[in-house]
DNA sequence: ACCTGAACACCGTTCAAGT
DNA sequence: ACCTGAACACCGTTCAAGT
């Protein structure tokens, strides 16, 4: 190979055609691409994310040790968005602890239904080890503590039939998680719940649950 | 290549070393291999199932048009086993409709916990299109009808607070499905429920739910 | 009729080489 | 310091050829 003497004129650095060799923030771009891939309903592949970021197949591995690490980063971003929606709903909720419990459950289900693919990445243990993300672990602990406080308050105000708060907490969790997953996993048609009915049904089952635990 | 004149003596057909060219029931063997792969916690791959059946990578496609079809067959088999467990539990249950509802829910959760990987294959929409299996569709419809009858009976006997049976049915379903999935998806540690506590908690949440819907 | 084995287009991941 | 591009071991799927 002859030594290059006259390098072929490169396009000016300012023209858009001149893709810079160094990406601005490839990590960020890969996470966004993966988030989009998931939202489009397909499998998230590292190679496809790389393609969308117009980098080579090996490039992502300079930013993530493996696919799981990318998925964990995706889950963290998705979790932040869900969390923001829930915090917003709680900010608008009344002060009555059972009303807040209701608002919390409804906001959870609605967020999950608004973006099922992102909900799945966060929820399922398949894509990465949840506990390996400090952010997800901390965020989850906050939500657990939040529901605990609501129930404790409700009990203190004599609003509950039972004193077994943990049981109520887990049952409530299972209810909303199960509802969100029935939606995600496509169970509702089989159970005679039509598309347009799901939203009202979410309210219905949460109200039923709260009526069941409330002293009357 | 010279024409073969003296074929090398083949082992007698009865010796186990003589793997027959035609498999006895490859379809069956592939399903069992896939069931085992899932139970071992790994991904189910057609190639690995073929390896376990000691056939070539292409052989499975003589029995299943694609991977999804194999997964559907696996789900059908897993569903039959779950169904058998549930029927057994119901046969031993008392005649009181709410007691039967409770027994049903508990049997469901227990079956799911006894074999999480098989439970997931049946439940998740990821592996194949559920409605494309007539057997799964029929079986599911039977379970839906079964819970419907229990609740109708309970209502007729004046055992329920609310007359909205569909809402109760969906809530109950979401509860047990959510509980089973929390287990499968590894949520219980984060929610402070320890391994040895899960079984009792399952009873606890179902009892809580039934107490909530029952007239008292 | 059923199975083999090579082939193809994918995937995750590694690594020398380039900028 | 970051990215390319070839390479490797996987995967699902197809198909001519064998039995």
- The enclosing domain of B125 has a CATH number of 1.10.357.10
Given A65, A91, A116, the domain boundary residue is: A65
Confidence of residue A42 (pLDDT cuts 50, 70, 90): very high
Q: Do B177 and A187 touch (CB under 8 A)?
A: yes
Residue A192 lies in a domain: yes
B145 and A CB contact within 8 Å: no
Cα separation, A67 vs A57, whole angstroms: 12
pLDDT score of A216: 81
Q: Compute the average pLDDT of residues B26-41.
A: 97
Higher pLDDT, B10 or B201: B201
Give residues 4-43 of chain B lying near strand C (Cβ < 7 A): 21-23, 26
Q: Is pLDDT of B140 > 60?
A: yes
Lowest mean pLDDT among A98-102, A126-130, B71-75: A126-130
Contacts for B26 with CB less than 8 Å, ≥ 6 apart:
B53, B55, B59, B60, B62, B63
The spacing between the Cα labelled CA in A56 and the C1' in D12, in angstroms, equals: 24
Cα separation, B206 vs B172, whole angstroms: 8
Given A12, A36, A65, the domain boundary residue is: A65
Q: Is pLDDT of B97 > 90?
A: yes
One domain, residues B129 and B85:
yes
Residue B178 lies in a domain: yes
Q: Is pLDDT of A5 > 80?
A: no
Q: Are B168 and A119 in contact (CB under 8 A)?
A: no
pLDDT score of B14: 31
Residue B22 has which token pair?
């035609």
One domain, residues A184 and A205:
yes
Cα separation, A90 vs A103, whole angstroms: 7
Q: Which residues in chain A have Cβ-Cβ distances shorter than 8 Å to B182?
A: 173-174, 177
Q: Compute the average pLDDT of residues B26-52.
A: 97
Residue A6 lies in a domain: no
* CB neighbourhood size of B118 (10 A): 21
Q: Which ranges of chain A does DSSP label H, i.e. alpha helix?
A: 26-39, 46-52, 67-92, 97-114, 116-123, 134-156, 165-184, 198-213
Beta bridge mates, B160: B214
One domain, residues A105 and A192:
yes
* CB neighbourhood size of A135 (10 A): 14
Q: Do B208 and A168 touch (CB under 8 A)?
A: yes
Contacts for A135 with CB less than 8 Å, ≥ 6 apart:
A76, A79
Its pTM surpasses 0.85: yes
Cα separation, B60 vs B53, whole angstroms: 10
Residue B2 lies in a domain: no
A98 and B CB contact within 8 Å: no
Cα separation, A190 vs A193, whole angstroms: 8
One domain, residues B209 and B113:
yes
Given A65, A92, A121, the domain boundary residue is: A65
Residue B159 has which token pair?
């055992």
Residue A14 lies in a domain: no
One domain, residues A124 and A200:
yes
Where in the sequence is the domain holding B48, given as residue range(s)?
A: 22-65
| DSSP string for B61-120 | GGT-SSHHHHHHHHHHHHHHHHHHHHHHHHHHS-S-HHHHHHHHHHHHHHHHHH-HHHHH
Q: Do B182 and A177 touch (CB under 8 A)?
A: yes
Q: Are B49 and B60 in contact (CB under 8 A)?
A: yes
One domain, residues A53 and A123:
no
pLDDT score of A9: 31
- For residue range A139-180, what is the model confidence (pLDDT) as tens digits? 999 999 999 999 999 999 999 999 999 999 999 999 999 999
Overall number of domains in chain A: 2
Q: Give whole-number Cα distances, A96 to A88, A101, A156, A157, A216, in Å.
A: 17, 9, 12, 10, 15
Residue A16 lies in a domain: no
One domain, residues A150 and A121:
yes
One domain, residues B111 and B184:
yes
Confidence of residue A21 (pLDDT cuts 50, 70, 90): low
Q: Is pLDDT of B22 > 80?
A: no
Instruction: Please state, for a pLDDT cut of 90, what percent of chain A lies above it.
Output: 88
Asked if residue B46 keeps its beta carbon closer than 7 A to nucleic acid strand D, the reply is yes
Residue B16 lies in a domain: no
Lowest mean pLDDT among A22-31, A126-135, B61-70, B147-156: A22-31
One domain, residues B37 and B113:
no
């Amino acid at each position: 190979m002859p030594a290059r003497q006259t390098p072929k004129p490169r396009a000016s650095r300012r023209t858009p055609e001149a893709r810079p060799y160094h990406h601005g923030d490839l990590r960020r771009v890969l996470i966004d691409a993966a988030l989009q891939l998931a939202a489009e309903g397909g499998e998230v592949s590292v190679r496809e994310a790389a393609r969308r970021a117009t980098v080579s197949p090996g490039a992502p591995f300079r930013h993530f040790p493996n696919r799981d690490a990318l998925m964990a980063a995706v889950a963290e971003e998705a979790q932040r968005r869900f969390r923001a929606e829930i915090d917003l709903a709680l900010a608008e909720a009344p002060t009555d602890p059972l009303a807040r419990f209701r608002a919390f459950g409804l906001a959870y289900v609605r967020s999950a239904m608004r973006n099922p693919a992102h909900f799945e990445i966060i929820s399922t243990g398949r894509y990465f080890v949840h506990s390996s993300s400090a952010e997800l672990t901390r965020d989850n602990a906050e939500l657990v503590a939040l529901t605990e406080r609501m129930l404790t308050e409700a009990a203190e105000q004599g609003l509950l039939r039972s004193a077994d708060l943990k049981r109520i907490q887990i049952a409530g969790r299972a209810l909303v998680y199960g509802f969100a997953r029935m939606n995600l996993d496509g169970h509702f048609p089989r159970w005679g719940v039509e598309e347009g009915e799901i939203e009202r049904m979410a309210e219905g089952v949460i109200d039923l649950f709260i009526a069941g635990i409330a002293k009357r």
